[in-house]
Amino acid sequence: MTALPIRGPVRIIGIDPGLRRTGWGVIEAEGNRLIYVACGSVEPPNDLPLSNRLLAIHEGLAAVLSNHQPVEAAVEQTFVNKDGVATLKLGQARGVAMLAPAMFGISVAEYAPNQVKKTVVGAGHAEKAQIAMMLKILLPKADPPSADAADALAIAITHAHHRQSTALRLKVAGL
Residues annotated in a binding site for Mg(2+): 16, 76, 148
With residues binned 3-state (H G I as helix, E B as strand, rest as coil), the percentages for the chain, rounded to 5, are 50, 20, 30
Binding residues: 16, 76, 148
Distance CA 75, CA 24 (A): 9
Instruction: Rounding to the nearest 10 degrees, give the CA dihedral for residues 160, 43, 126, 80.
Output: -100
What counts of helices (H) and strands (E) characterise the chain?
5, 5
Separation between Cα atoms, residue 64 and residue 154, nearest integer Å: 17
The DSSP code for 146 is: S
Which residues are annotated as catalytic?
Answer: 16, 76, 148
Q: SS in 3 state form for 89-135? A: HHHHHHHHHHHHHHHCCCEEEEECHHHHHHHHCCCCCCCHHHHHHHH
